[in-house]
Amino acid sequence: MNHKKISAVSFDLWDTLIKDTNSMMQKRSQCRINNIETLLSNTNSKVSKTIIKNSLNYIREKCTEDHNNEFDISFHDRVNQLINLISKEKVITPTKNLNKSIGQIIDDAFLAYPPNLVEGAKETIEKINQKGYLMCLISNTGFTSPDTYNIFLEKIGISKYIKIILLSNEIQTAKPSKKIYDLAIKKLGVPNREIIHIGDNYQADVIGSKNCGLKPLWVNDDDNPTNKENEKIIIKSIPEILGFI
């Protein structure tokens, strides 16, 4: 990799810069289930926690399926998807602000039980910023709104360094789509060959960015199967990025 021709660094978010723990995921999920049950109960809609849990699990699976097909839908539409799923199992009394109220519950739970910034990520981003490289974030999102992602990124202290943030449920296209990488290239304003993209997902991040002319680095800290060619682009931790720029 030619260090002299790198002008910008692009990051994936989930399992690259941030990671969940099973405990935090369980607490976040239970918070959403409990609060949605209470909300619906207050509108005279008696819906079991099991129905809500199963519906939320389906939404998570649907997000992944959509991302694998290179697209996403808005957070508002995803909440409507959840409401429609629950309605198939139990009639819900419609209210004017139901989508907004459930969306708020989903977002509040994310901020109450957030994922963790990986070790060395903030310090590495600060050093990349000090070196004068442009930076952007390209993320396939879960069931959380773009506004809440931006609040979270500010709280963990990286949004002041990464000004270009591309979220799949905001632009409604997902990695490994060429559209999302081309948008990043356009916003960064530098040639594709001068951009390093760092991510953990081989298909979405490595193949997706490589197909658009970016230089991929694969965060393979789980020792996923690889080959000799890929060994040259593997890193085990975020601070290792500094050796490539």
Q: What pLDDT does residue 230 have? A: 74
Per residue in 50-81, pLDDT tens?
999 999 999 999 999 999 999 999 999 999 99
Question: Is there a single domain that holds both residue 74 and residue 172?
Answer: no
Question: Is there a single domain that holds both residue 123 and residue 236?
Answer: yes
Q: What pLDDT does residue 2 have? A: 46
Question: Is there a single domain that holds both residue 184 and residue 216?
Answer: yes
Continuous H helices in the chain? 22-42, 49-68, 75-89, 98-112, 121-130, 146-155, 168-171, 178-188, 208-211, 228-231
**Average pLDDT, stretch 167-187?**
98
Domain end (from 59, 79, 112): 112
Q: Evaluate if residue 245 carries a pLDDT over 60.
A: yes
- CA nearest 109: which of 15, 27, 20? 27
CB 117 within 8 A of CB 159: no
Q: How many domains does the chain divide into? A: 2
Q: How confident is the model at residue 35 (pLDDT cuts 50, 70, 90)?
A: very high
Q: Evaluate if residue 3 carries a pLDDT over 60.
A: no
Domain end (from 87, 112, 137): 112
**Average pLDDT, stretch 228-235?**
79
Q: What pLDDT does residue 225 have? A: 58
Question: Is there a single domain that holds both residue 14 and residue 43?
Answer: no
**CA 86, chain centre distance (Å):** 25
Q: Evaluate if residue 124 carries a pLDDT over 70.
A: yes
Angle at 114 between CA 12 and CA 50, to 5 degrees: 110
Question: Is there a single domain that holds both residue 81 and residue 197?
Answer: no
Say which residue, 85 or 224, is predicted with more confidence: 85
